[in-house]
Amino acid sequence: MTGKKRILFLCTGNAARSQMAEGLMRAFHGEAVDVVSAGSRPAGWVHPLAISALAEIGIDIHDAQSKSADQFLDQQFDVVVTVCDSAAQDCPLWPGAKRIEHWPIEDPTWGDGSGAARFAATRDELARRIEELMKPEC
């Protein structure tokens, strides 16, 4: 055990939102947390625009791999965060979680406008929520 807070980010495919959240958390709070991400139905790949959106701010996740939530079921986490409605439905409870949070973040692969802009907006929303999550509790 590292003594660090353990955080798991879950989404459906572990291809975009949860991968970006893991990368952001590791880059900004890696000294304080042990972070992983996974998918309830892993895609088997990481979306190139998720990789690009983080590269724009100097975070490299090009070696990231899509992982199944099943491999983490027997592990303890301080916080499990579902970053999409589908993952919240697939994994409403997490046996080893001290706390579960749900962030209903829209899938950046769908919608109007440029895909790159949607992924950048998702990255920025995740970064804002991560900073809120990491604020010291009063």
Which of the residues are catalytic?
11, 84, 91
Q: Which of 93, 103, 137 is nearest to 21 (CA)?
A: 103
Q: Any idea what the Cα angle at residue 118 is, between residues 117 and 123, rounded to 5°?
A: 95
Residue 88 and residue 109 in contact, taking contact as beta carbons nearer than 8 Å: no
b/e map 46-84, b = 16+ CB within 10 Å: bbebbbbbbeeeebebeebebbebeebeeeebebbbbbb
Overall size of the chain counted in residues: 138
Provide Rg for the chain, Cα atoms. 14
